[in-house]
A and B are shown apart, each in its own frame.
Chain A
């Protein structure tokens, strides 16, 4: 019997898993997809909010501010990039100044440090391409940017190294009461556990409603984004939000930790929990709205567009903790924005609740630190050549756009919780993430996956499941 089964290997599930790996406990994570970070966690604004936005006294406010404060130490431990670039929430009308003041006050009550209203002259120094109509902004210096893939993967990997088991391709079918806990069934297995953590993103309502009479309903809210080429790097320096206007909610424009620029999101409530299709209207809307805050943003340099689903519960608040009528069943539901920012705090909180419930003991040895996949471009010429002498795979470039070497891809596949698909490699080392979007490197990455995993070309997938890249040999393919 497991002590804890966590359902869902998004950033919340993985944050809970890592916190629980500090205790002597049998912990299993069940994930319906082939990799961690494949749902809401993979498609969002990739920002760490300061925490002024959520209403005073809400869980969103509390966990956002706490999560933000935890981020430096966590990212140092996990060896992943996190940059506190600060956010600017801009307004374009005198009548909105009061609203900026209100947000500042709200933020201060939430415990957000350093909030300040900046006016056009100073704003222009901070953000030279700010739109002409912008008159002032709320500056939040603690806001930051992060790579959600790297964060989630690092949390999972570190949890795994510290003893948490992960089972992929394991969608949960049923959860029932069992002696001393819960029985969970998947397509190919049955698991007994003392406690369950529901971190199932847009499906968290379905799981909760299997065990609890206190029904919840998650209505996915789709957000469409466009991502700009790194050639546009430096055009925008902060995360620039817009105050909502009569014309609706604005979009944000922000750099990413990898030097791209992200613009979005839209907000469409939808029924289909898998519908991450982007629409033409959404792309046009995002592009148009960016002009409210940023002048002449080079949106022609788009390299991809994508949509993510916010796991929004009808009431708009996080649902955290043990279900009142289902002892040992812990919800992390309704985790929409600022979920990514709050994730370390949610992990800490849920692990705390469960450790008290099960009277878990802290481990004597917990390996908090982890080394990220080596980025050879950060080495000196001498160091790099020494590395290539030792491991020649670091001398072969596979992805030309992002300069990713074979050595990095091998590391991404071989390490714990390693990549199993093209997208898995892409999210770990960025091969295929650049301006040609895998046109050049995907056949080469496929060859490496075949070699490393001992599978056939036909078994290589884009993202597991039904996403095979090729269907079989050509007529003379065997002679190749």
Chain B
């Protein structure tokens, strides 16, 4: 009984939250990367 009271109940984070958190940073980074990649062809043109 006491084990049940004291053991912390595991509440996994929903995968969608993890996905949204990554999107929050990947989207601006992707924008920057896209803008940068557009400049590179001129180097070899």
* A and B pair up: no
